[in-house]
Amino acid sequence: MIQRIQTIYLLIAEMLVGILFFVPFAEIAGKESNIYRFDIKGIYMEGIQKTEIIYSSLPLIILWAVSLILILSTIFLYKNRILQMRLSTINIFILLGFCGLIFYYVWSSAKVLSGVYSLKVYLVFPIIAAILIYLAIRAIAKDELLVRSIDRIR
């Protein structure tokens, strides 16, 4: 059952969430023409050799890691489809919370730094991953219905 379409959806979602560790979410142009970069590690001033993190984003790292672990574990729970659907639903809420937390960090840090923020295209990746996980849930539900209908025939 690991070669099903839901595995492809979950693998693509895993890759999209994994990419978020390496890319910036936003840039903030603060006072005195300072440019700050916001990624999963936190907010830091761009262009300085010693990257001193101004604001840490530990909750983002935790949500990111939990999401990655949940997607990976969901792929290998193909024998327990009900648990697979429940974990996938939880993961969708985690990813949406991840997006909300990113927007909160960007908005509040731009307010504190008295700057203007510009969001990057990578911010769409968690939303696309949530959509792919939803498609995986639908495929898992179809498999479950198929198995139940075959059990009914016996």
Q: What confidence score (pLDDT) does residue 68 get?
A: 95
63 inside domain: yes
106 inside domain: yes
Give the lowest-confidence range in 2-11, 61-70, 79-88. 2-11
154 inside domain: no
Q: What confidence score (pLDDT) does residue 49 get?
A: 58
CATH code of the domain containing 126: 1.20.140.150
152 inside domain: no
Q: What confidence score (pLDDT) does residue 104 get?
A: 92
Helix axes 81-112, 58-75, angle to 10 degrees: 160
User: What is the tally of structural domains in the chain?
Assistant: 1
Give per-residue pLDDT as tens, 88-132. Answer: 999 999 999 999 999 999 998 888 888 888 889 999 999 999 999
105 inside domain: yes
| pTM beyond 0.85, yes or no | yes
26 inside domain: yes
- The percent of residues above 70 in pLDDT, for the chain, comes to 95
Range of the domain at 81: 5-147
What does pLDDT average to over the chain? 89
153 inside domain: no
